[in-house]
Amino acid sequence: MDYLALAALLFPDVTETPEDIENKYPRRELPEGAVVTRMAPSPTGFVHLGNLVQGMISERMAHQTGGVLFLRVEDTDAKREVPGAVEVLIESLKHYHIHFDEGATMDGDHGQYGPYRQRQRAAIYHVFAKKLVAEGKAYPCFCTEAELSAIREQQEANKETTGYYGKYAIWRDRSLEDIQAQLAAGNPWVLRFRSEGSIENQFKFDDLVKGKLTITENNIDHVLLKSDGIPTYHFAHAVDDHLMRTTHVVRGDEWLPSLPFHIQLFQALGFKLPKYVHIGPLMKMDGNSKRKLSKRKDPELALTFYKAEGFPVQAMREYLMTVLNSNFEDWRRANPDADIDSFRFSPKKLNPAGSLFDYAKLTDVSKNVISRMSAEEAYDLLLEWATEFDPDFGEKLSADAGYAIRILAIGRGGKKPRKDLATWKEAKPYMGFFYDEYLEAPVFDEKYDKSVIVDVLNRFLETFDPADDSSAWFEKVKAITSAIGFTTDMKAYKADPAAFPGTVADVSTFIRQAVTGKTNSPDLYTVMQILGYECTAARIRDCIAALN
Ligand code: GLU
C-alpha cells in the first residue's frame, strides 16, 4: 500500500506539515518543575463538585510550581452542548478562586497556545491525521452502522471482546482501489488508528494518584476522526495536550480504561507523554455503603447548591482540601491564620479510590470558618448571599449595616468564638428576631400559668435599666426569681425538682421568649443591649398584652 498516496487522497486540502504546526506552539519558557495543566470540560452546562475538585487540584499544581493553568473547551460533541455552558463554568470556578492563566474566557480566547475550543482546531487535527496515514498508522473505515452492529452481535454470540480489531477490522488492510471506489461513491468514512498492540502484552505505568499500574496493551483500532472530520476525545487529547505543552493531565479516573490507547497514540505521534493524575470519584455514605455522588439522586453534587445554601467560598475550599490531602488538617491546626494557598498540595496524597464527601464535616468546617471571620467580613458575605437568595432580608441588612454588624459581632473574637452559623441561610433563623418583621410570637410552656409569666415580665420591666452591666442585670433576674418563689439554686433543684415551682432558668426563658420569640438565642443581656431600651421594653409590653 502506498500510504503517502492514501494520505493525499484522504486529506487533499491539508498543506501544512506537523513541523509547521509545532513551530506555532513553542516550548514554554517556565521554571524547572513548573506544572502546565488544564481543565478540559465538555460544555454540558452542569457544573458539579467534581469540577471544583478537579479545578482546585489543577490550580494548586500549576500555581504552586509557577506553572500555567488553562481552560480548553472540548466541544467536539455538538449534541451535548448547552449554550452558555462555558460562561457558567468559568463564573462558577472563578467564584471559588480558580483562575485560568489562559484559554477560553468570557470574552474570547487568551493565550499563545490556542484556539482553545476544539471545534476551531479541526485543521490542526487533520495535519496530524494525515501524518499518521502517511506513516501507515491510521486508515479509513467505511463500515456502516449496520455492519458494525453485525460485528458486535457476532462477537457477543462468540463471547469475545467487542470492538474493531483483528479479523473484525475489515478495512484495516484494504487496497487503495477499494478505498478510492468508496470515496468516489461519496460514502462516509471514519479514520481509525492501526493498533500494533496485543492484549498478550503488559507493561508498568506510573500514575501520580493511582501509583504503579499494570497496563495491558490496546489492540482495538479506535476511531480518531469521526465522519464529519471532528476528532474523538482520544485524538484531540493527544494532539492538544502535546501542542499546548501540558505537562500533567489531571482528569477523572473514568478515563483510565482509555489510558492504554492514549499512551499508544502519543507514541505513534512521536509525542512525549505527559504525567497523568487520575482522580477517583467523589463518594458519599448511603446507609452502610459508599457510592458515587449521583447527579440524579444528590442535589449536593451541583455547585449551585452550595452557593444557594450559603456556604462561604473559604469554607468550601478548606473542606475540600481536608478531603483531598490528609495532612491538611494538621497543617491548618499549626497555621490557623495562614492563607490556604501556602499549604503545599500533593497529588500523591489523594486517595486513589476516591474521596468521601461528608456533609456533616463540611458543616463543621464551615462553622469554624465563619466563627473566625470578623463581624464586618461576615456581614459583607451574608449581605452578598442575602441580596441574591433572600432579598427582603438583604434589604434589612443593608438598611442599617452598623446594627447588623453589632448583631454579627456577638460571641466573635477571643480564643473560643461561638460557632452559631454553618451557612448564611442559617443567619435569618438565628438573628431574624432582631428585626420586628421577623419576630415570631412566643409559644410558652403550658406547664406555667400565664399569670406567672406576666408577673415575671412586669417585674422585669419595672427594674430593667440598659445602663446595668451584665452581672447587675443578672442579679435583677435572680431577684425576680426569688420574689416569685422560684429557685436560683440549680443544684438543689436538680436534686429535687418537685420541691420547686421553677428556676432562674425558667425565668430567663420567659424573658428571652418575650424579647426574641424563641427559647434559644445568643446571650440575652447582649441581645437587649443591641435592641436598646425602647425596643426591648416594647416587645415585653406587647407580650404581656398578648398574654392577658
Ligand atoms: N472533556 C473531557 C471530560 O469532560 C475531559 C477529560 C480530560 O480532562 O482530559 O470529561
Tens digits of residue pLDDT in 208-233: 999 999 999 999 999 999 999 999 99
- Tell me the three cell numbers of residue 379: 456581614
pLDDT of residue 142: 98
3-state DSSP assignment of residue 455: helix
Query: What confidence category does residue 409 fall into, taking pLDDT thresholds of 50, 70 and 90?
Result: very high
156 CA distance to ligand 1 middle (Å): 29
pLDDT beyond 90 at 107? no
Produce one character per residue of 49-71: b if its CB has 16 or more CB atoms within 10 Å, e if not.
bbbbbbbbbbbbbbbbbebbbbb
Separation of CA 297 and ligand 1 centre (Å): 23
Separation CA 259–CA 210 (nearest Å): 13
Centre of ligand 1 to C-alpha 95, Å, is 21
Cα-based angle 518, 520, 522 (whole degrees, multiple of 5):
115
CA of 446 to the centre of ligand 1 (A): 62
Q: What's the gap in Å between 86 CA and the centre of ligand 1?
A: 14
Distance 233 CA to ligand 1 centre (A): 8
- Three-state DSSP state, 215: strand
Q: How far is the CA of 492 from the centre of ligand 1 (A)?
A: 68
> Residue 41's closest CA among 116, 112, 115, 102?
116
Distance 204 CA to ligand 1 centre (A): 24
pTM for the whole structure: 0.91
pLDDT of residue 46: 87
Atom 3 of ligand 1, residue of closest alpha carbon: 41
DSSP character at residue 159:
T
Per-residue b/e over 392-420, b at no fewer than 16 CB within 10 Å? Answer: ebbebbeeeeebbbbbbbbebeeeebebb
pLDDT value, residue 206: 97
Alpha-carbon distance of 18 to 38, in angstroms, equals 23
Cα–Cα distance between 142 and 472 in angstroms, integer? 92
d(CA 245, CA 242): 5
Distance separating alpha carbons of residues 211 and 441, to the nearest angstrom: 61
- Please determine, for residue 293, whether its predicted confidence score (pLDDT) is greater than 90: yes
546, amino acid identity = A
- Identify the band that residue 81 occupies on the pLDDT scale cut at 50, 70 and 90: confident
Q: Which of 271, 300, 273, 269 lies closest to 284, judged by CA?
A: 300
pLDDT reading at 106 higher than 90: no
Please, which pLDDT band fits residue 422 given cuts at 50, 70 and 90?
A: very high
Q: Range with the lowest mean pLDDT among 184-188, 268-272, 410-414, 431-435?
A: 410-414
Residue 80 has pLDDT above 90, yes or no: no
Task: Give the Å distances, CA to CA, from 424 to 31, 308, 360, 371, 520.
Answer: 42, 9, 16, 12, 18
Distance 140 CA to ligand 1 centre (A): 26
Segment 15-43, tens digit of pLDDT: 999 999 999 999 999 999 999 999 999 98
Distance (Å) from CA 251 to ligand 1 centroid: 6
429 touches 492 (CB < 8 A): no
Joined together, the cell numbers standing for residue 184 give: 468516489
Ligand 1 pocket test, candidate residues 251, 262, 295, most atoms within 8 A of CB: 251
Pick the atom of ligand 1 nearest to 255's CA.
6
Residue 7 and residue 14: Cα distance in Å, rounded?
A: 10
Tell me: the pLDDT tens digits for 494-505?
Answer: 999 999 999 999
| Burial group, residue 315, by CB count within 10 angstroms (0-12, 13-18, 19+) | buried
Report pLDDT for 112.
95
344 grid coordinates? 503545599
Could you give the CA distance from residue 469 to residue 282 in angstroms, rounded to a whole number? 52
Alpha carbon of residue 500 to chain centroid:
55
- At residue 251, the pLDDT reads 97
Mean residue pLDDT of the chain comes to: 96
Residue 277 near residue 332 (C-beta atoms within 8 A)? no
Q: Which atom of ligand 1 is nearest to the CA of 250?
A: 8
Amino acid at position 346, single letter: S
250-270: average pLDDT: 98
Give the pLDDT confidence score for residue 82 in this predicted structure: 86
- Shortest-distance atom of ligand 1 to CA 38: 8
pLDDT at 532 over 90: yes
Give the per-residue pLDDT at 503. 96
With the most atoms of ligand 1 within 8 angstroms of its CB, the residue from 121, 233, 275 to mutate is 233
CA 517 – CA 428 distance, rounded (Å): 13
Residue 357 is predicted with a pLDDT of 94
- Residue 82 CA to ligand 1 center (angstroms) comes to 16
Sheet containing 282-286: order of strands: 289-292, 282-286, 355-356
The separation between CA 247 and the C-alpha centre of its own chain, rounded to angstroms, equals: 23
Cα–ligand 1 centroid distance for 368 (angstroms): 34
| Helix 504-516, helix 470-483: angle, nearest 10 | 110
| pLDDT more than 90, % of the chain | 94
Dist. CA 254 → ligand 1 center (Å): 10
CB 400 within 8 A of CB 451: no
Nearest CA to ligand 1 atom 5: 40
pLDDT at residue 104 in the model? 87
Residue 521 has pLDDT above 90, yes or no: yes
Give the per-residue pLDDT at 329: 94
Buried-state track 86-105, b at ≥16 Cβ within 10 A, e below 16:
bebbbebbeebebebebbbb
Residue 415 pLDDT: 85
**Ligand 1 binding pocket, CB closer than 6 Å:** 40-42, 74, 237, 249, 251
Mapping DSSP onto H, E and C, the string for 457-508 reads: HHHHHHHCCCCCCHHHHHHHHHHHHHHCCCECCHHHHHHCHHHCCCEHHHHH
Helix (H) or strand (E) holding 531, with range, is helix 524-547
Best of 69, 74, 75, 81 for a ligand 1 pocket test (most atoms within 8 Å of beta carbon): 74
Tell the residue nearest (CA) to atom 2 of ligand 1: 41
Q: Which of 306, 322, 385 is nearest to 51 (CA)?
A: 306
Sorted by sequence, the CB contacts under 8 Å of residue 381 that are 6+ apart come out as 312, 373, 424
* pLDDT over 90 (residue 323): yes
Using the atom order of ligand 1, give the atom closest to the CA of residue 41.
4
Q: What is the pLDDT of residue 45?
A: 85
Q: Which atom of ligand 1 is nearest to the CA of 241?
A: 9
Instruction: Kindly give the distance from the C-alpha atom of residue 39 to the centroid of ligand 1, in angstroms, as a whole number.
Output: 7
